[in-house]
Structure 1
Amino acid sequence: MSTNPQTPDWLALATEARAWPFEEARKIVKRLEKTGKETALFETGYGPSGLPHIGTFGEVARTTMVRHAFHVLTGDKVPTRLICFSDDMDGMRKVPENVPDPAALREYLHLPLTKVPNPFGGDYASFGHHNNAMLRRFLDTFGFDYEFASATDYYASGKFDEVLLRAAGKYDEIMKVMLPTLGAERQATYSPFLPISPKTGRVLYVPMKNVDAKEGTITFEDEDGSEQTVPVTGGNVKLQWKPDFGMRWAALDVDFEMFGKDHQTNAPVYDRICNILGGRAPEHFVYELFLDDNGEKISKSKGNGLTIDEWLTYASPESLSLFMFSQPRRAKRLYFDVIPRNVDDYYTHLANYRTQEPDKQLENPVWHIHSGNPPTVDMPVSFSMLLNLVSASNSEDKSVLWGFIRNYDATMTPENHPELDRLVDYAVRYFHDFVAPHKTFRAPDEREAGALQALHDALGDLPPDADGSTIQDEVYRIGNEAGFEPLRDWFKALYQVLLGQDQGPRFGNFVELYGIDQSRKLILEGLARG
């Protein structure tokens, strides 16, 4: 993921660039200047209590954008690593709603996720292993440069032992940080250490009877009432999730981690624990949460919102990356209806990139999406226009759609416009699943019918090769002469009567693509509903 800026001027522009990945990268540059570290470590976290969702991908994609900006700002001279850390030793506190036969998992509550049987079948050793594999599969599909890390492996292998022993020695200091954040009832039983029961294998939320810093052990009451003493090392315990954040930062010497707004109030706790354990808290970036179609936070266990695979069924990976880049500090609905806009916006940004000055190129989302090397793509037809073409033609046959496209421009073929051909595939699938089921045609009222007839006749008087602007002028003229006020009511009538939807494309461009003769037939079909 290296970038090789060509001139010092390019570096100077990057130093002043306002795009948020550069703002975050500059913080990391200053951090390393203070610490003297020769490698920058980026981290993202994943809780495998459910299948990976787009929010998980977004965290890796956004961190990768910051990482690339850091490479540019340092002239690609400072090595970096990105660790994707899975908290798969966490106990399963509730059964996810979106797994096969959820009732069968109830007996495994509070076991570490890597000890819960895999409800999906297959060769994976556990529910946690399965979900980790799904995460890696998707990240690999996108070509992310990362190192996967498992909490189970890190705790059990001893990679955290040194800091865990330090936590035993700093137990009272950690408790002073944690107790004020808890209610009275929780304070009475709280411990930052969660022992793994030697008898049941469950993650226990129990108070400590003793913490022996010298021996590196904890003593607690097991589920059957027996007293147990175990070392804090070797995977016999894990830390509560808030102390675990700070411990991991200290153990790995993390320089940057972003997290959702739901973590924001806890960030000072993570920082203080990291410092107590001898680390230096990393730079943070807090992003807003994604919402489903009802405005509720998306959740892995609920399975609401969009899955990774669902987005990629209907649109390109690049459009998803654009969604992640844009306004990360603003809450956004993550549902099917946001897809068309992001597809078209991506190609608009791509088209603008080639004509922009270098300083503007660094602000363009496609520069960050493509790690400084956006492709050159000719996209003559928008995704929204293709959706309307499918809708108007009432055909989901690719060859029919390409017939309209070739009538518009005989030189265009799937072979010389592979990106457009890919978009046609997406449009057909999206229309079939999300547009067609909701299409509702209505009959025109008397004024609308008169205007539609006038438009039908006016189109007949135009030359067959009239361009979209000429056609649009006629649409405006007829709407004004018919007395539509505001004029958008005229366009709304066109969409509802002719396309069975409330919104649509720039109508002149649509007619140019669909063809004047076909458009006149479409108008006659609409008039016949009256």
Structure 2
Amino acid sequence: MSDHPHRDIAMQAKAWPFEEARKVLAHVGGKKPEKGYVLFETGYGPSGLPHIGTFGEVVRTTMVRKAFEQISDIPTKLICFSDDMDGFRKVPTNLPQQEMLAEYLHKPLTEVPDPFGTHESLGHHNNARLRSFLDSFGFEYDFVSSTETYKSGRFDEALLKLLAHYDDVMKIMLPTLGAERQATYSPFLPVCSKTGHVLQVPVVETKLDSGTIVYRDHDGSLVETPVTGGHCKLQWKPDWAMRQYALDVDYEMSGKDLIDSVKQANRIQKAMGGKGPATFTYELFLDEKGEKISKSKGNGLSLEEWLTYAPQESLSLFMYNKPRAAKKLYFDVIPRMVDDYLTFRGKVAGQDEAQRFENPAWHIHSGAVPQEKGSVTFGLLLNLASVCNAQDKETLWNFIKRYDPEASAETAPFLDGLAGYAVRYYQDFVRPSLKYRLPTEQERPAFEELKGLLEKVDREISSDDLQTEIFTIGKNHGYENLREWFKCLYEVLLGQPQGPRMGTFFTLFGLEASLDLVNRVLAGADLSAQE
């Protein structure tokens, strides 16, 4: 045992962020890099707005960073790098002033006017949106602009190094391209001094002594320009490798679709004399049909949609779970993620340090897991909303307070938020799919016994004891598989094939209200028509 028992426990943790953290520690040789810290990077293309994938990459990288801080005293930084010097290739259909923007095609994004009129350029506008997005989730990061870094000269040394290995880079990149692209490809994209366009033109000569390239312009003339000082930008794969080299990035993750790009960037770095960062490849999301999510198809679930129906913590849990496995990202996964999060959060108080390191809630909250009294699950709130056709969360609070008199929106803000999410989710997804039915003649005797139980049972009975009584009714009426009895209750009383522990539900809904519900069913009432 070392002098750091806490660190020893963290070094043994099996949770994937700790596995990655140990990989990073090995990558830097177990000691502080010359720059004084371990650098984690995430990248962003600011031609569009931040999305659920942006959140996933930053939250997962943060989980690894925070795990690293448990196993080492080496300082850390996380940068979010915006490739805002990239050329404006096409006008996104969701932006205003389409005709005006079309006049600025091929210019760096930071030279394209902001169609919203709030920032000095479209690149600056989208960078501001990114920072606001990251800040809203409480991420700790340093923002780095490609334009500023190129123009400040911070990349100059690395750009000259890449120029010195120009032929090596071409040997790496050309086999990955089609014949037509090979004919004009160069890792350097000159910024035209006349038009300001980021040019994709063939380079006819490299001059290492002067740090310049000579390229053939579209009009056929030869132009010489420095590769430094923002006069050139790199194609994105060499750019990725160059900036990792220049900034000495120690860790970066990316999606499965970029596996080949990671390999090429790593080869370019080695050609330049760098070793490249430790990397992690995560799987891409699937839609409910198991097909890859695509922006053009619009078959995915957006970040805004998830956060309309559930808290950020549930989305963080979805991102934490099995990042190397392809997961379906659609509305039906939301309730389970919320309740799984509540379960993990509830276990923290009773766990020792080793157990907490394996608990997803520890990683979601970087160790500072909040505690809030309350045992009402999201699934239970959804069922409650169904039965009383809730239009607002105040309706649910009327029942919650009866179930737990000490609970309130002030003392249980997370539960209060869940009640609002549950009403929205019920109204938009559950309500349209409800299919109530009446009990069959064979099922009616069991419902009559349930009615009798609710009439006579002690009003102070615990939800566990009430569950046992309901369980017994099923056995009394010949249900060999008790799941069938509960499925019957769900279909008749809740209009769906799955549901909560009925003892807990009846306790929350109230025994008198539950008795009234059973009486209405036995009287042949159509619960689907309830208001």
> Which residue of 2 is the match for residue 96 of structure 1?
92
Map Cα deviations across residues 357-395 of structure 1 (whole Å, 9 max, x no partner).
221111111222222222222222111111111111112
Residues 98 and 269 of structure 1, relative CA distance in 2, 3 Å threshold? same
Aligned counterpart in structure 1 of residue 23 of structure 2, from 27, 32, 42: 27
Question: What secondary structure does 2:114 align onto?
Answer: coil
CA distance in 2, matches of 1:393, 1:7: 58
Question: Could you tell me how far 1:325 is from its partner in structure 2?
Answer: 1.5
Question: What secondary structure does 1:456 align onto?
Answer: helix
Residues 474 and 109 of structure 1, relative CA distance in 2, 3 Å threshold? farther
> Which residue of 2 is the match for residue 188 of structure 1?
183
Question: Could you tell me how far 1:176 is from its partner in structure 2?
Answer: 1.0
Question: What secondary structure does 1:230 align onto?
Answer: strand
Question: Could you tell me how far 1:30 is from its partner in structure 2?
Answer: 2.0
CA distance in 2, matches of 1:128, 1:62: 25
Question: Could you tell me how far 1:156 is from its partner in structure 2?
Answer: 2.0
Residues 474 and 66 of structure 1, relative CA distance in 2, 3 Å threshold? same
CA distance in 2, matches of 1:170, 1:129: 33
> Which residue of 2 is the match for residue 219 of structure 1?
214
Question: Could you tell me how far 1:296 is from its partner in structure 2?
Answer: 4.1
Residues 296 and 213 of structure 1, relative CA distance in 2, 3 Å threshold? farther
Say if 2:109 is the partner of 1:113.
yes
CA distance in 2, matches of 1:151, 1:190: 21
CA distance in 1, matches of 2:492, 2:230: 66
Letter of the 1:305 counterpart: G
Residues 518 and 80 of structure 1, relative CA distance in 2, 3 Å threshold? same
> Which residue of 2 is the match for residue 3 of structure 1?
none
Letter of the 2:10 counterpart: A
Map Cα deviations across residues 30-87 of structure 1 (whole Å, 9 max, x no partner).
222267513211111111221101211121111111111111111xx32211110011
> Which residue of 2 is the match for residue 70 of structure 1?
68
With normalisation by structure 1, the TM-score equals 0.91
Letter of the 2:455 counterpart: G
- Whether the aligned pair in 2 keeps the contact of 1:472 and 1:507 (CA below 8 Å) is yes
Matches within 5 A, 1:474-485: 474-483=469-478
CA distance in 1, matches of 2:517, 2:138: 45
CA distance in 2, matches of 1:452, 1:152: 71
Say if 2:239 is the partner of 1:244.
yes
CA distance in 2, matches of 1:300, 1:88: 20
Residues 304 and 203 of structure 1, relative CA distance in 2, 3 Å threshold? farther
- Whether the aligned pair in 1 keeps the contact of 2:80 and 2:144 (CA below 8 Å) is yes
Residues 102 and 342 of structure 1, relative CA distance in 2, 3 Å threshold? farther
Question: What secondary structure does 2:41 align onto?
Answer: strand
> Which residue of 2 is the match for residue 358 of structure 1?
353
Map Cα deviations across residues 259-310 of structure 1 (whole Å, 9 max, x no partner).
1111112222111111222322111111111234454444567665333333
Say if 2:87 is the partner of 1:83.
no
Say if 2:165 is the partner of 1:170.
yes
Map Cα deviations across residues 457-497 of structure 1 (whole Å, 9 max, x no partner).
33223222333233333433444455556543443333333
> Which residue of 2 is the match for residue 209 of structure 1?
204
Question: Could you tell me how far 1:410 is from its partner in structure 2?
Answer: 2.4
CA distance in 1, matches of 2:103, 2:294: 23
Question: What number of residue pairs does the alignment pair up?
Answer: 522
Letter of the 2:231 counterpart: N
CA distance in 1, matches of 2:84, 2:497: 46
Aligned counterpart in structure 1 of residue 525 of structure 2, from 517, 525, 528: 528
Residues 276 and 60 of structure 1, relative CA distance in 2, 3 Å threshold? same
Say if 2:138 is the partner of 1:143.
yes
Question: What secondary structure does 2:304 align onto?
Answer: helix
- Whether the aligned pair in 2 keeps the contact of 1:83 and 1:149 (CA below 8 Å) is yes
CA distance in 1, matches of 2:442, 2:265: 65
Say if 2:320 is the partner of 1:325.
yes
Moved more, 315-324 or 479-488: 479-488
CA distance in 2, matches of 1:195, 1:417: 58
Residues 347 and 21 of structure 1, relative CA distance in 2, 3 Å threshold? same
CA distance in 2, matches of 1:474, 1:366: 34
Question: What secondary structure does 1:360 align onto?
Answer: helix
CA distance in 2, matches of 1:333, 1:88: 31
In structure 1, list runs of 5 or more residues that go unmatched: 1-5
Say if 2:11 is the partner of 1:15.
yes
CA distance in 2, matches of 1:501, 1:203: 57
Map Cα deviations across residues 190-218 of structure 1 (whole Å, 9 max, x no partner).
21112223343333322222222222222
CA distance in 2, matches of 1:480, 1:522: 22
Residues 34 and 211 of structure 1, relative CA distance in 2, 3 Å threshold? farther
Residues 303 and 216 of structure 1, relative CA distance in 2, 3 Å threshold? farther
Question: Could you tell me how far 1:247 is from its partner in structure 2?
Answer: 0.5
Moved more, 352-361 or 32-41: 32-41
Say if 2:483 is the partner of 1:488.
yes
Question: What secondary structure does 2:197 align onto?
Answer: coil
- Whether the aligned pair in 1 keeps the contact of 2:356 and 2:362 (CA below 8 Å) is yes
- Whether the aligned pair in 1 keeps the contact of 2:392 and 2:420 (CA below 8 Å) is no
CA distance in 2, matches of 1:452, 1:214: 91
> Which residue of 1 is the match for residue 461 of structure 2?
466
CA distance in 2, matches of 1:174, 1:475: 72
Question: What secondary structure does 2:350 align onto?
Answer: coil
Question: Could you tell me how far 1:224 is from its partner in structure 2?
Answer: 3.9
CA distance in 1, matches of 2:453, 2:198: 75
> Which residue of 2 is the match for residue 131 of structure 1?
126
Moved more, 204-213 or 323-332: 204-213
CA distance in 2, matches of 1:24, 1:247: 23
Say if 2:418 is the partner of 1:423.
yes
- Whether the aligned pair in 2 keeps the contact of 1:347 and 1:379 (CA below 8 Å) is no
Question: Could you tell me how far 1:428 is from its partner in structure 2?
Answer: 2.2
CA distance in 2, matches of 1:280, 1:336: 42
CA distance in 1, matches of 2:403, 2:32: 61
Aligned counterpart in structure 2 of residue 456 of structure 1, from 427, 451, 458: 451
Moved more, 408-417 or 162-171: 408-417
- Whether the aligned pair in 1 keeps the contact of 2:470 and 2:503 (CA below 8 Å) is yes
Say if 2:239 is the partner of 1:256.
no
CA distance in 2, matches of 1:292, 1:131: 27
Letter of the 1:275 counterpart: K
CA distance in 2, matches of 1:376, 1:301: 41
> Which residue of 1 is the match for residue 57 of structure 2?
59
Question: Could you tell me how far 1:141 is from its partner in structure 2?
Answer: 1.9
Say if 2:343 is the partner of 1:348.
yes
